[in-house]
C-alpha cells in the first residue's frame, strides 16, 4: 500500500544512520530540509543527482536548507560513495525501507515487462516547522537541483 502525502501535510519523522552518526527530522527542526530518495549509490543517475546537490551545497546552506539523501544502501556503501565522488551531503541509510515507505517512495516499478518494488526518485521540501512545502515525484535528474534550490529560496 502506497502512502499518499501531500503539500501541507506534516512530514513523517525520520531518524537514520549516516556515515558520521545519525540524521533526524527532529534534530533539524527550524531548518528547511530537502529530503531526496534515490535508488542506489554509484549508479549513473544517482551519482549525477548526488553530485548536483553536493555542488550546490553552499547555495542550499546560504538559503538555510540542509540536503539529506536516502537510499537502502548501507552506511559503509554511502561512505565509499561520498569519498569516491567527494560529495558534500548527508546520506541516510534506510536498509529496512521504513522511512522510504512512510514517504510513499517505495513503489511498484516496471522494466522490460518485469514488475518489481523499488524506490521512486523523489524529493520533499520540508519547512522549519516540519510541513511539506513541495513534492517532486519521478524526478528526472537534469535541472532538478536548480528547481529545488529555487523552491528553497522562495520559501
Neighbours of 44 (CB within 10 A): 8
In a domain, 11, yes or no: no
Pick the catalytic residue from 25, 46, 65, 105: 46
Q: For residues 11 and 130, is the Cβ–Cβ distance under 8 A?
A: yes
Which CATH number does the domain housing residue 66 bear?
3.40.30.10
Q: Is residue 115 part of a domain?
A: yes
46 tagged catalytic: yes
For the chain, the domain total comes to: 1
Expressed as residue numbers, the domain containing 44 is: 28-154
pLDDT in tens, 82-139: 999 999 999 999 998 889 999 988 888 888 888 888 888 999 999 999 999 999 999 9
Q: Please write the tens of the pLDDT for every residue from 6-16.
A: 999 999 999 99
Is position 1 within any domain?
no
And the C-alpha cell for 147? Answer: 528547481
Amino acid at each position: 500500500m502506497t502512502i499518499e502525502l501531500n503539500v501541507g501535510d506534516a512530514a513523517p519523522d525520520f531518524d537514520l544512520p549516516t556515515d558520521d552518526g545519525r540524521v533526524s527530522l527532529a534534530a533539524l527542526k527550524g531548518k528547511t530540509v530537502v529530503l531526496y530518495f534515490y535508488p542506489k549509490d554509484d549508479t549513473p543517475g544517482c551519482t549525477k543527482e548526488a553530485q548536483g546537490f553536493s555542488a550546490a551545497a553552499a547555495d542550499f546552506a546560504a538559503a538555510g536548507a540542509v540536503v539529506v539523501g536516502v537510499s537502502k544502501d548501507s552506511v559503509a556503501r554511502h561512505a565509499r560513495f561520498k569519498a569516491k565522488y567527494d560529495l558534500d551531503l548527508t546520506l541516510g541509510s534506510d536498509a529496512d525501507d521504513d522511512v522510504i515507505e512512510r514517504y510513499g517512495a517505495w513503489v511498484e516499478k516496471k522494466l522490460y515487462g518485469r514488475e518489481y518494488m523499488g524506490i521512486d526518485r523523489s524529493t520533499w521540501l520540508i519547512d522549519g516547522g516540519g510541513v511539506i512545502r513541495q513534492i517532486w515525484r519521478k524526478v528526472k535528474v537534469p535541472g532538478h537541483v536548480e528547481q529545488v534550490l529555487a523552491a528553497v529560496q522562495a520559501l
